[in-house]
Structures are given as C-alpha cells and as structure tokens.
Amino acid sequence: MTRYTKDHEWVRMEGDVAVIGISAYAVEQLGDVVFVDLPGAGKEFVAHGTMATVESAKAASDVYAPISGQIVAANSALGDKPELVNESPEADGWFVKIKPSNKAEIDALMDEAAYADYVKGL
C-alpha cells in the first residue's frame, strides 16, 4: 500500500524497507525534471526534514523525508536519467529506500483515496 504526505511524497513498504519518491501530482507541478540531488546510504533523517532536492525547468524544490529512518539505497539511475521522475514517478523514478525507525509514522500518512481528495482541493 502506498501512503502520501501533504508535501506530495509517497512511501511504499517493500519488506522491511520503505521506498520513497514524489507523487505524479508533484511531478505535474514541477514540469520536466532536469536534476535530482539524493542523499547517500547511511544518512539518517527525521520525518519532515529536508531529504533531497529536485530541479526542474521551472524551479528547484526540496523533498522532505515522510518518515524517520536511515537511507539504505538511493536511486543512482536518476543521476544519468532524471527524466525517470517524469516518466514513472511512483515506480522507476523512486528516490531512496529507508529502513524506518518508527513504522507508526507510515500509518499516520494519507492513503491513496485521502491523497486524491487532498489534491482535488488544491
């Protein structure tokens, strides 16, 4: 199950690891992504802390950690092909994988239906 934040990040658990990226709505607002600055493995984040930066033709935007935890992998493919974020924001365009330090934070995020309703109101 995918969960979402009000800042348009998504989280999906794969075993004990949370995969994180930005939503299709966020990508639509950004336009063509030209660069993604991701943290390296081992870096720790707290929920809502700045985790990455994404640059598009329109602007540079911070990406926030939706949950607390330690990075176990970053999507190195985005270094050569940042357009993967545009092409497949909720699959191949993932940003990082985190080992969550508090899985309850995931349950507090919006499910797909709640996020869809939230986006409609923007």
Structural domain includes residue 110:
no
Structural domain includes residue 118:
no
Structural domain includes residue 115:
no
Residue 23: its pLDDT value, please?
Answer: 98
Structural domain includes residue 7:
yes
Structural domain includes residue 120:
no
pLDDT at residue 119 is higher than 90: yes
Q: Provide the domain count of the chain.
A: 1
pLDDT at residue 113 is higher than 90: yes
Q: Is 33 left (phi over 0), alpha (psi -120 to 50) or beta?
A: beta
How high does pLDDT run on average in the chain? 97
The whole model's pTM is what?
0.96
pLDDT in tens, 66-95: 999 999 999 999 999 999 999 999 999 999
pLDDT at residue 58 is higher than 90: no
- CATH code for the domain of 73: 2.40.50.100
Instruction: Give the range of the structural domain holding residue 21, as residue numbers without chain letter.
Output: 2-102
Contacts 24+ apart (CB under 8 A), 43-52: 43/70, 43/71, 44/68, 44/69, 44/70, 44/71, 45/69, 45/70, 45/71, 45/98, 47/102, 47/105, 51/20, 51/95, 51/96, 52/95, 52/96
Structural domain includes residue 10:
yes
